[in-house]
Amino acid sequence: MDILLNSGSTLVIIAAVVGLFMAWGIGANDVANAMGTSVGSKALTIKQAIIIAMVFEFAGAYLAGGEVTSTIRKGIIDASFFVDTPELLVFGMISALFAAATWLLIASALGWPVSTTHSIVGAIVGFAAMGVSVDAVTWSKVGGIVGSWIITPLISGVIAFLIFNSAQKLIFDTDKPLQQAKRWVPLYMFLAGFVLALVTIKKGLKHLDLHIGTTDGYIYAVITAVIVAIIGKFFISRIKFDESAALKTHYANVEKVFALLMIVTACAMAFAHGSNDVANAIGPLAAVVSIVDNGGQIAAKSTIAWWILPLGGFGIVAGLALFGHKVMATIGTGITHLTPSRGFAAELAAACTVVIASGAGLPISTTQTLVGAVLGVGMARGIAAINLGVVRNIVVSWVITLPVGAGLSIMFFWMMKGIFA
């Protein structure tokens, strides 16, 4: 307790620096992964993707993520073990942030899309189990997260496979793809509007006290979807295409329509991601500031100091702009060749999976969901269309994320204890 009184300011400064490093890692890996399909399919340039991410990720984090972040990430550890020694929780949270951020830096340099959520969970489990007590960890929660490695990519892969195949049969494999696109694209727009509205309500706005019930949520989503479909129908009907042009030109024009759809999905997913993952990543920083400010009292929830969210937002944008291109390349071009229609199928499938997982209460990683969706699109084109070497590296990086995060966290935790205790 004396440590917190004597070195509280120093610990907060260290936590802020490490929190910024973590936010930078999220930008370089998680956000780059979310934008990778749009960039890889040429729907957006890297510069445009960075601008969209800056606006929507920051808006999601600041508007919807700032309400409250639970002090202890998703109830992974039992706070009662730290009541008498709150400084251990402070050391642990700083160590967990530093460990997760270090792993994100390594993974981003190698172009591996890994899960921020799993990095920080592995790190928190590591310091709690080894530094405090094995009983301090809620192991059933950890088991659920490990299970989600298999379930969520599988769900999103199947949905992406179905969406892509339906677009092929209804639009691309017909004699007049342009006419069919005018007919069917509003339906895809309805589906995208519905799912993205649900994602925004369930994920993006859940931290605001709007009290939108399940039924109301679906009603709002349907209304949004109808409006999106009507607007889409209006604009598509106004597009003039040369019917006598070569079939190749028709395909290119249809892809342009899907490119517009992708920009909408990219904005909505960035907002949902910002509100969800970003606030979670700066949760440990909020916990440290809260414990130090309250003189060692561990609050069940910590209100976030005014400077934390801008710090997180800045770190994310900087990470994406400076270091995000490698993970973008892996998602956008490394796994399989993406066009706007394939990228749209992958993003819409990822959004559907987020809605399904939220409804079922499954822990979810946006990274793994999107990788699963891109794989699903690749499978629809045949196994030869998938770069299996890249997929193998990604799967290996997923498996080692928890143990690496835990190992680094334990090492940093003992170092922190040695320096301050």
pLDDT at 321: 85
Categorize the per-residue pLDDT at 19 as very low, low, confident or very high, splitting at 50, 70 and 90: very high
384: left (phi over 0), alpha (psi -120 to 50) or beta: alpha
The Cα–Cα gap between 196 and 392 comes to: 30
pLDDT at 71: 41
Categorize the per-residue pLDDT at 65 as very low, low, confident or very high, splitting at 50, 70 and 90: low
Categorize the per-residue pLDDT at 106 as very low, low, confident or very high, splitting at 50, 70 and 90: very high
Report whether pLDDT(9) > 50.
yes
Write out the DSSP string of 299-311: -SEEPPPTTHHHH
pLDDT at 66: 54
For residue 69, give the DSSP letter: E
pTM of the model: 0.86
- The rounded percent of the chain whose pLDDT value lies above 90 is 21
Tell me the three-class secondary structure of 43-55, residue by residue.
CCCHHHHHHHHHH
pLDDT in tens, 200-234: 777 656 656 667 777 888 888 899 999 988 988 88
Which is it for the CA torsion 156, 157, 160, 166, positive or negative? negative
| Structure tokens that stand for 285 in this block | 């920083």
| CA nearest neighbour of 331 among 346, 349, 319 | 346
Report whether pLDDT(238) > 70.
yes
| CA nearest neighbour of 60 among 175, 212, 208 | 208
pLDDT in tens, 248-298: 777 888 888 888 888 888 887 787 777 767 666 677 888 888 888 877 777
Q: Which residue has the higher pLDDT, 272 or 43?
A: 43
Asked whether 26 and 318 are in contact (CB, 8 A), the reply is no
Report whether pLDDT(198) > 90.
no
- Phi, psi (rounded to 5 degrees) for 237: -65, -25
